[in-house]
Structure 1
Amino acid sequence: MNSEQARPAAAPQPPLLQLNSVETSYGDSKVLFGVNLEIEAGQCVALLGRNGMGKSTTVKTIMGLQPCMQGHVKLRGSSLNRLRPHQIAHAGIGLVPEGRRVFPNLSVRENLVATARQSGRAGPAWSLGDIYALFPRLQEREHHLGCNLSGGEQQMLAIGRALMTNPELLILDEATEGLAPIVRKDIWRCIVLLKSRGLALLVIDKNLSALMRVADRHYILEKGVVVWSGASEELHANPDLVHHYIGM
């Protein structure tokens, strides 16, 4: 037996993010019922479903904004259940929240540097210059307060702020909701670019055609339960599924 034959096989790596049988409640009202979801490093995953089906609650549970009552949320195999939101962000998950939530009384530049941190991984980290190259409009508005930006500019700022934490996984909750068509185009361009750079993404959005072009896998939530998951090709081939669970 040669040395290569004797070498033990490498242990399989866990998914970057894994939700195992996750249950979440608001008081006595259970919202998530055993949600299972996986995202591999560099993968783009879409979370689909009608309003009120648990998509944003899933995001809040991942980020520690809502406690996981049962099951586990794991990043690279390590449980996030007992971590606070800032610890989860520090562990490598960036969030672009629904409603943007930029700091209204800070300038664009101050918003970007307020939560910036160095990457804990090898490779280049996101800098202020990188964000301005990604969204030149932010550099033009560098000294303007967050409250004085348009909705599209605020969304660009929210994405830039999340990237300045140098995440391994970026979550975009309602990525293009309420934005003008030209701004939506810029946001989708950004998402495609981020995926090409190897950043893992979890995207919630109502633009199914755009999601099917960029996402590697889709999960459909119905009343807090994952009722289907699969690749874009499978979803495209099943319009009845789309109509039934998403309403498109």
Structure 2
Amino acid sequence: MMNSEAIPPPGSGALLQLHGIETSYGDSKVLFGVNLEIQAGQCAALLGRNGMGKSTTVKTIMGLQPLKKGSITLRGADLCRMRPHQIAHAGIGLVPEGRRVFPNLSVRENLIATAKQAAHSGPTWKLDDVYAMFPRLQERERHLGCNLSGGEQQMLAIGRALMTNPELLILDEATEGLAPIVRKDIWRCIALLKSRGLALLVIDKNLGALMRVADTHYILEKGVVVWNGSSQELSANPRPVQDHIGM
């Protein structure tokens, strides 16, 4: 097990590294020195009850919420002074909570709207790759985003993020509110992405599914990482989950 104090300082060689990040909404402090790192090709899970700072951590990584203190680096490059589109261009893809597909664009237009060439040597994605992963999107490629089902919109949100050819993909509650058969499809997709060597940061309430795919877990409580370790460690000692999440 590695606790939050044991994260190496910036420059340790991790793909993504958060070191002592603090974030506030106005006068209300939300994150209190969060430390987290993800290696290339690794899947990390961010766990915690609602309101503990998980989505705020994601927003801070993506430049959508100002960083008050600390550092965020991608392959050692400082992200703290970058705008959200620059962070995306640097190699981080986001599947946001609530999907947020472009409602008045077709499936195909959604996918190619933000597509870019990969700036790295890792796995890459083109339109045909996304359609191979989600055949339903190819069947519906001329339909507007607003006319898709919730599951189809989630597939589209994932496909759109992959079309940016990221080194790291962040999925914020990607299975929330979906039918069981669709959730199963999303988890299949996540496992496939990991098998292809894409680094992942996943926020989800399905601990069983996360235990099967994640290499490491971080538990947030009131804006602080209170535990982190491997799936094996968490399986051997489920007390942190019982104490801090209540599952």
Shorter-normalised TM-score: what interval?
A: over 0.9
Q: Counterpart in 2 of 1:88? A: 87
Q: How does 1:65-104 map to 2 (within 5 A)?
A: 65-104=64-103
Asked if residue 198 in structure 1 is aligned to residue 197 in structure 2, the reply is yes
Q: How does 1:18-29 map to 2 (within 5 A)?
A: 18-29=17-28
Q: How does 1:116-127 map to 2 (within 5 A)?
A: 116-122=115-121, 125-127=124-126
Asked if residue 173 in structure 1 is aligned to residue 172 in structure 2, the reply is yes
Q: What's the TM-score once normalised by structure 2's chain length?
A: 0.94
Q: How does 1:1-248 map to 2 (within 5 A)?
A: 14-122=13-121, 125-248=124-247
Q: Distance in 2 between matches of 1:121 and 1:43?
A: 16
Query: What code does the residue aligned with 2:30 have?
Result: V
Corresponding residue SS for 1:117 = coil
What's the offset of the Cα at 1:122?
3.1
What's the offset of the Cα at 1:123?
5.7
Query: What code does the residue aligned with 2:206 have?
Result: N
Q: Distance in 2 between matches of 1:22 and 1:126?
A: 31
Q: Distance in 2 between matches of 1:189 and 1:63?
A: 25
Do 2:105 and 2:144's aligned partners in 1 also have CA atoms closer than 8 Å?
yes
What's the offset of the Cα at 1:240?
2.4
Q: What's the TM-score once normalised by structure 1's chain length?
A: 0.94
Distance 1:123 1:72, change over 3 A: closer
What's the offset of the Cα at 1:78?
1.2
What's the offset of the Cα at 1:55?
0.1
Highest Rg: 1 or 2?
1
Q: Distance in 2 between matches of 1:171 and 1:34?
A: 20
Do 2:41 and 2:198's aligned partners in 1 also have CA atoms closer than 8 Å?
yes
Q: Distance in 2 between matches of 1:232 and 1:122?
A: 28
User: What per-residue deviation string (whole Å, max 9, x for no partner) do you get for residues 127-179 of structure 1?
Assistant: 11100000000001000000010110000000000000000000000020000
Instruction: Name the count of aligned residue pairs.
Output: 237
Structure 1 stretches (4+) deviating beyond 2 angstroms? Answer: 122-125
Q: Which runs of 5+ in 1 are unaligned?
A: 1-11
What's the offset of the Cα at 1:13?
6.0
Query: What code does the residue aligned with 2:39 have?
Result: E
Q: Distance in 1 between matches of 2:180 and 2:128?
A: 26
Q: Distance in 2 between matches of 1:123 and 1:13?
A: 20
Identity of aligned residues (%): 82
User: What per-residue deviation string (whole Å, max 9, x for no partner) do you get for residues 91-111 of structure 1?
Assistant: 000000000000000000000
Corresponding residue SS for 2:186 = helix
Do 2:123 and 2:197's aligned partners in 1 also have CA atoms closer than 8 Å?
no
Q: Which runs of 5+ in 2 are unaligned?
A: 1-10
What's the offset of the Cα at 1:239?
2.4
Distance 1:247 1:130, change over 3 A: same
What's the offset of the Cα at 1:241?
1.8
Corresponding residue SS for 1:88 = helix
Query: What code does the residue aligned with 1:23 have?
Result: E
What's the offset of the Cα at 1:124?
5.8
